[in-house]
A and B are shown apart, each in its own frame.
Chain A
Amino acid sequence: MSAASEPAIANIDHVTTTLIDLETETVRGLNAALHGLSRDNSQGSWRILNPRGRHAIVAGLDAPVKIDVAGNVGYYCAGMNKQAHVIVHGNAGVGVAENMMSGFVHVKGDASQAAGATAHGGTLVIDGNASARCGISMKGIDIVVKGSIGHMSAFMGQAGTLTVLGDTGEALGDSLYEPHIYVRGTVASLGADCILKTMRDEHKAELFEKLKSAGIDGQVDVSDFKRYGSARTLYHFHIDNASSY
């Protein structure tokens, strides 16, 4: 993804903040109000109080709006997101930013399984760890995890980037298509058809751009990372690979 596809956060009006307390409002009511916002101009800032692990908080948005969620969220937070800039000040449950199209989602704590799953675009930054299947079937999202990720991450990923400052679990990038995976720590094991690749200048430049979008350029050296990608031997059915499918 190019920098141009990132949300125009500077255009968001930060003066008007709408406060929603989920102890008194429902998630359904919150999401309906957000779905009613105009897609075309700044919709200000929203602050969501007492999320208390509830599911589907701010899912399905399509508006240039900044949202701070003050606490831990449940499943599918910011799922299907377009345009919105969502900051979770806590941990996120299963499928944070799953199927995101554009926008920016920042989890200040840890994320559960399938973070950024199937997402087509946008940026997902996780300050802590992400568990299993991070970026599974990713289709263009940029994911930056400052901690470590679990097993089967980027499984059947098709496009996008997955950057991990810590370690990865087993079977990284199994049956991978074309995402670029950058890992600074250790890889427990590589999945079928995922291999270590040379880190050329273009990859260093791409990685630098992703680190910059996560706000950690200058703090982390791109030359500390290794690149992993597809060996492209499983793209088409081949009888000799039958046992690998």
Chain B
Amino acid sequence: MCGIVGLFLKDKALEPELGAMLAQMLGVMNDRGPDSAGFAVYGAGKEGFIKATLRGPAGTDFEAVGRALTEETGEFVRVVTHDTHAVIAVPTGRWPSIRASIGKIAPDLALVGEGSRMELFKEVGLPSEVSRRFGLDKMTGSHGIGHTRMATESAVSTKGAHPFSTGVDQCLVHNGSLSNHNAVRRTLVRSGVTFETDNDSEVAAAYLTQCMHEGDTLARSLERSLDDLDGFYTFVVGTRDGFGVLRDPIACKPAVLAETDRYVAFGSEYRALVDLPGIEQARVWEPEPGQVYFWGHDA
């Protein structure tokens, strides 16, 4: 099963509400995916800085890690802790050396995602509980995507939770199962891509990132995936400036889109959208199979 939600705001006045809206949508999708949950929020970025989301074992003192990093690198490392995750912001040019220092100072921390705007959180547990632990309802931003997982294809673990990020400011959530992910993974590994899990969705994320690395746009990358990825899928992909939606040509997995002049919202089911403002007047439709949809703010 699995549930997906996505929200792209056109009206800046809604940005302070993004997290609360997304948390509500994610909670409704509890029963499509009670095993684990995750979400990515594209919030404010600072010119010349990169944000990295780190994950640590329960009880990790991220503030102490920040202080140690500041001391080690001579660069002030700002840390914002969210339960088992923390977001640090550092000058983009210093990021490679600071990342190396993290490996030395706190080897048990994992890098969940990095980008100028993206923050990414995921954990095992009931989705509404996961979003409460991370404080999603208080987060702000221009767009975000979320996922509730009912594991079928690989283990229930934090690493196996969605979204999967394999590139800067890029992440993907997936409802479905891919049948040729092992073959695609082998091809990507030969190109130098590394993988964290045995999960099929991570392969899809890495595939899209590789396409974009080769110079394709997100839309073109999604089109290419129609030829190269086999199986059932509804993908929702987040980028720095927007989000994209693609369903497999058979349309095995459900998808509903709603658009008003204030937002575009995606839900695996209409139920996830019912509390959005003005939903009664929204244009509600099912995305066509095999067709790429994308909404973005001008960069």
Listed in ascending order, the chain A residues whose CB lies under 8 Å from chain B are 52-55, 72, 74-75, 91, 93-94, 110, 112-113, 131-132, 150-152
Q: How long is the Cα–Cα vector from A125 to B251 in the complex, in angstroms?
A: 23
Question: Least Cβ distance of A119 to chain B in Å?
Answer: 20
User: C-beta contact mask, B257-274 vs A, less than 8 Å → 1, else 0?
Assistant: 000000000000111011
- Report the stretch among B147-155, B160-168, B284-292 that lies at the interface: B284-292
Query: Are the C-beta atoms of B274 and A53 separated by less than 8 Å?
Result: yes
Listed in ascending order, the chain B residues whose CB lies under 8 Å from chain A are 250-251, 254, 269-271, 273-274, 284-286, 289
Given known contacts A131-B251, A150-B251, A72 and B269 CB-to-CB distance under 8 angstroms: no
Question: Least Cβ distance of B224 to chain A in Å?
Answer: 21
Q: How long is the Cα–Cα vector from A72 to B279 in the complex, in angstroms?
A: 11
Chain B residues near A151: list those with CB within 8 A: 250-251, 289
Q: How long is the Cα–Cα vector from A229 to B242 in the complex, in angstroms?
A: 45
Chain A residues near B274: list those with CB within 8 A: 52-53, 72
Query: Are the C-beta atoms of A91 and B270 separated by less than 8 Å?
Result: yes
Query: Are the C-beta atoms of A112 and B286 separated by less than 8 Å?
Result: yes
Q: How long is the Cα–Cα vector from A227 to B273 in the complex, in angstroms?
A: 39
Given known contacts A131-B251, A151-B251, A53 and B286 CB-to-CB distance under 8 angstroms: no
Chain B residues near A110: list those with CB within 8 A: 284-286
Query: Are the C-beta atoms of B289 and A53 separated by less than 8 Å?
Result: no
Who on chain B is nearest to A75 by CB? B269
Which listed residue, B271, B284, B286, touches A74 by the CB 8 Å rule?
Answer: B271
Who on chain A is nearest to B28 by CB? A53
Who on chain A is nearest to B272 by CB? A53
Q: How long is the Cα–Cα vector from A54 to B31 in the complex, in angstroms?
A: 12
How many A-B contacts at CB < 8 Å in the complex? 41
Given known contacts A53-B271, A72-B284, A112 and B251 CB-to-CB distance under 8 angstroms: no
Q: How long is the Cα–Cα vector from A131 to B285 in the complex, in angstroms?
A: 10
Question: Least Cβ distance of B284 to chain A in Å?
Answer: 6
Which listed residue, B271, B284, B286, touches A54 by the CB 8 Å rule?
Answer: B271
A-B contact sample (14 more), CB < 8 A, given A74-B270, A131-B251, A131-B286: A53-B269, A53-B270, A53-B271, A53-B273, A72-B270, A74-B271, A91-B284, A93-B269, A93-B270, A94-B254, A113-B251, A132-B251, A132-B289, A151-B251
Query: Are the C-beta atoms of B289 and A52 separated by less than 8 Å?
Result: no
Question: Least Cβ distance of A206 to chain B in Å?
Answer: 30
Query: Could you jot down 26 A-B contacts, CB within 8 Å?
Result: A52-B271, A52-B274, A53-B271, A53-B273, A53-B274, A54-B271, A55-B271, A72-B270, A74-B269, A74-B270, A75-B269, A91-B270, A91-B284, A94-B254, A110-B284, A110-B285, A112-B286, A113-B251, A113-B286, A131-B251, A132-B251, A132-B289, A150-B289, A151-B250, A151-B251, A152-B250
Q: How long is the Cα–Cα vector from A55 to B251 in the complex, in angstroms?
A: 20
Question: Least Cβ distance of B149 to chain A in Å?
Answer: 20
Q: How long is the Cα–Cα vector from A193 to B271 in the complex, in angstroms?
A: 38
Question: Least Cβ distance of B218 to chain A in Å?
Answer: 25
Chain B residues near A72: list those with CB within 8 A: 270, 274, 284
Q: How long is the Cα–Cα vector from A150 to B286 in the complex, in angstroms?
A: 11
Chain B residues near A74: list those with CB within 8 A: 269-271
Question: Least Cβ distance of A47 to chain B in Å?
Answer: 17
Q: How long is the Cα–Cα vector from A52 to B250 in the complex, in angstroms?
A: 27
Question: Least Cβ distance of B223 to chain A in Å?
Answer: 18
Question: Least Cβ distance of A185 to chain B in Å?
Answer: 16
Chain B residues near A52: list those with CB within 8 A: 271, 274
Question: Least Cβ distance of B68 to chain A in Å?
Answer: 49
Closest 8 A-B residue pairs measured CB to CB?
A53-B270, A53-B271, A52-B274, A132-B251, A131-B286, A72-B270, A53-B274, A74-B271
Who on chain B is nearest to A51 by CB? B274
Who on chain B is nearest to A152 by CB? B250
Q: How long is the Cα–Cα vector from A113 to B253 in the complex, in angstroms?
A: 10
Chain A residues near B271: list those with CB within 8 A: 52-55, 74
Q: How long is the Cα–Cα vector from A54 to B284 in the complex, in angstroms?
A: 16
Q: How long is the Cα–Cα vector from A183 to B250 in the complex, in angstroms?
A: 22
Question: Least Cβ distance of B95 to chain A in Å?
Answer: 43
Question: Least Cβ distance of B230 to chain A in Å?
Answer: 18
Question: Least Cβ distance of B32 to chain A in Å?
Answer: 11
